[in-house]
Amino acid sequence: MKYLILSLLLISCTQKYQTYHIIDANNFDIQNPTTPITKKMYPARKVTQSNCEDQWLFNSNAQKENQRYVQNSMIKRICETPYLLNARLTETWWTTIIYSRSCFKIEGYCPKK
């Protein structure tokens, strides 16, 4: 029983969900999201992408590196157009004393051309 209590103190997990009606890949900022004003777009195919970053001790900041990757690369490549509709961004953090893991998963729809 005491090992279970000790392991709960040493390991933690957090999940955060955010939804966006429209993401403009060229102007997307995770810290300060805005909804662009566009012409009417209709969802076509569903897309899903995910990425994880690891951190040992204090050698990097896995969450900030992952946010930078999502913001600068992942969202720009997910569709042929610069927009993503009805998107859901899930952030998951796993943390122990010496190891952390940050994962992002984005699900949404590319607009019809």
DSSP reduced 3-state for 40: coil
- pLDDT-derived band at 5 (thresholds 50, 70, 90) equals low
d(C-alpha 51, C-alpha 74), whole Å: 8
Residue of higher predicted confidence among 12 and 85: 85
Residue of higher predicted confidence among 21 and 5: 21
Q: Please tell me the number of Cα atoms within 13 Å of 7 on its side-chain side.
A: 4
Tens-place pLDDT, residues 8-22:
556 778 888 899 888
- Contact between 54 and 62 under an 8 Å Cβ cutoff? The reply is yes
- Residue 56 sits in which domain range? 2-111
d(C-alpha 104, C-alpha 75), whole Å: 11
Residue of higher predicted confidence among 6 and 29: 29
Q: What mean pLDDT is predicted for residues 25-53? A: 86
pTM of the complete model: 0.75
State how many domains the chain has: 1
What pLDDT was estimated at residue 4? 54
